[in-house]
């Protein structure tokens, strides 16, 4: 099964682009959703998180103690890296299981904010980067999430720069005012259908 990884920095529109591929009938795996799910369902991950951050990481009912974890990782990049190192393999496992269950699609998509940072692009056949100027991305996310420009910039600073990702990606979609989005998606869909028959 051909696997395409879609990514883009905060507010680039990678989720919007992924939804357009879904409209074309392509199954999409959302890594961020899978990560949240794995935190409360993947036994290996749960054990790892408890070992790394203590049993307090989970509430008595088994739910993740988000406040506790957020306090630990928010201003400490080393702890965040530790949490990511536990989470990423769990998401890889979930993706493999999900792909194994898909029988009748020409190709599948993995949408992941940290596709390059987590190295999961290496497990995809091709990567697709959605880009937009920082100014535009800040405007979208402040509107969508009701947060400040500084909060968006702080999240942006935790990701690889868009320039770095441009060097790593196979395909690009410009989700800005310069090019129409849907024709770009349709073009790439045709390309991926061709690649899937090779
Ligand atoms: P994040 O990494 O923060 O989850 P994302 O890359 O998944 O962001 P989306 O959630 O798809 O981005 O888009 C961010 C916001 O910008 C959404 O509210 C979306 O509706 C809006 N948006 C996306 N593309 C455009 C566009 N071309 N024009 C206007 N608004 C857009």
pLDDT digits (tens, 9 = 90+) for 184-194: 999 999 999 99
Q: From CA 198, how far away is CA 125, in angstroms rounded?
A: 12
Q: Which two tokens stand for residue 108?
A: 């599948």
Q: Report whether residue 5 contacts ligand 1, using a CB cutoff of 6 Å.
A: no
* Overall average pLDDT of the 2-30 stretch: 98
Say what the pLDDT of residue 19 is: 98
100 has pLDDT over 90? yes
d(CA 139, CA 133): 10
Whether residue 113 has its Cβ less than 6 Å from ligand 1: yes
Closest CA to 11 of 159, 169, 118: 159
Give CB contacts under 8 A, 24+ apart, made by 177-180. Answer: 177/136
Q: Which residue's CA is the closest to the ligand 1 atom numbered 9?
A: 13
Is 143 labelled a binding residue?
no
* CA neighbor of 42 nearest in space, from 102, 95, 117: 95
Q: Is 12 among the annotated ligand-binding positions?
A: yes
- Would the annotation count 142 as a binding residue? no
């Amino acid at each position: 099964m051909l696997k395409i990884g879609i990514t883009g920095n905060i507010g680039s529109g990678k989720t919007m682009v992924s939804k357009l591929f879904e409209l074309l009938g392509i199954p999409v795996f959302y890594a961020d959703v899978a990560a949240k799910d794995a935190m409360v369902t993947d036994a290996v991950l749960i054990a790892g998180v408890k070992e790394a951050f203590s049993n307090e990481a989970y509430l008595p009912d088994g739910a993740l103690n988000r406040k506790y974890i957020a306090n630990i990782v928010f201003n400490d990049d080393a702890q965040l890296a530790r949490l990511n190192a536990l989470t990423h393999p769990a998401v890889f496992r979930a993706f493999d299981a999900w792909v194994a269950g898909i029988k009748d699609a020409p190709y599948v998509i993995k949408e992941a904010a940290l596709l390059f940072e987590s190295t999961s692009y290496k497990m995809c056949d091709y990567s697709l980067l959605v880009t937009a100027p920082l100014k535009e991305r800040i405007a979208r996310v402040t509107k969508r999430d009701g947060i400040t420009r500084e909060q968006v910039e702080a999240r942006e600073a935790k990701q690889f720069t868009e320039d770095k990702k441009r060097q790593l990606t196979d395909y690009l979609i410009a989700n800005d005012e310069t090019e129409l989005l849907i024709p770009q998606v349709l073009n790439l869909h045709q390309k991926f259908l061709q690649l899937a028959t090779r």
